[in-house]
Amino acid sequence: MKSVGIDIGSMTTKAVVMQGDKIESFAIIPSGEEAESTAREAIEQALNGTETNLSNSYLVSTGIGGKSISFAKQQKSITTCLARGISSLFPSARMLIDMGAESSTILKLNERGRLTDWLGHDKCAAGTGMFLQQMAKLMQMPLEEMATLSLQAKNPAEITSTCAVFAESEVISHVHRDPPTPREDIVAGVYSSVVSRIMALAKRVGIEKDVAVSGGVALNAGLVKILETELGVQVLVPEKPQLVAALGAARIAGENIEKA
């Protein structure tokens, strides 16, 4: 029996299929209006080309839509799955910074990779992936270009971290300034704004090495570099940071198969 983990996020849905400790396949698709049908689509995509189907797999769901999946054998919270996923990739990780589309969460882990504490912010757009997406739209450049451009910044712009609406006004004023603020400095400023929000959370929980990152925002190399500078430590970045929660869910599914 295969273990399948699915993470239904606000922007993307991620599925991971495992056989024992090995990841066999995965899928990342945009989240639709119906969590259940999106989940089915993601799983079918991930299982495509394998002989497995839903009936001979053990499915654990997580994420904001995790509870809506009627065909899941178990639902687990995102924090539990993130902890399990990251500790399987980096057993030395004691702190995980998850930067998702609509929220950022700091998790602390013990030496067994179990969650001991977490702190998140989910009431404000500032410091989230949605905010970065909005900024990319405003700057009229794809997110991927933003990610590399910031590395060339010489004098990052000052942009508020307290409110996404105010930050947007500030970016507009930087763009229309005469002469305009260099684009790489604006992007670096936007990233710094996100990082400062995350740092406020991290300091409240207490920074502890090794630090790993997850979530789609962690794909931004420029942002991760600023984060490393602020933390004063090198961070561990998974190859597919957006898959960590789905991986954790698949791991839990695997444990349940073993127990059965």
Binding site residues, another protein, CB under 8 A: 76-80, 83, 114-119, 204
Q: How far is the CB of 63 from another protein (least distance, A)?
A: 11
Nearer to another protein, 62 or 150 (CB): 62
Q: How far is the CB of 178 from another protein (least distance, A)?
A: 40
Q: How far is the CB of 114 from another protein (least distance, A)?
A: 5
Distance in angstroms (rounded) separating the CA atoms of residues 59 and 72: 5
Q: How far is the CB of 168 from another protein (least distance, A)?
A: 24
Distance in angstroms (rounded) separating the CA atoms of residues 224 and 216: 12
Q: How far is the CB of 5 from another protein (least distance, A)?
A: 15
Nearer to another protein, 80 or 193 (CB): 80
Beta-carbon neighbour count of residue 141 at 10 Å?
Answer: 14
Q: Report the alpha-carbon angle 132-244-197, nearest 5.
A: 35
Beta 95-99 vs 211-214: how paired, if at all? parallel
Distance in angstroms (rounded) separating the CA atoms of residues 170 and 118: 31
Nearer to another protein, 63 or 156 (CB): 63
Q: Which residues on neighbouring strands pair with residue 95, listed in sequence order? A: 108, 211
CA-closest candidate to residue 113, choices 221, 10, 257, 255: 255
Distance in angstroms (rounded) separating the CA atoms of residues 63 and 65: 5
Nearer to another protein, 78 or 187 (CB): 78
Nearer to another protein, 11 or 119 (CB): 119
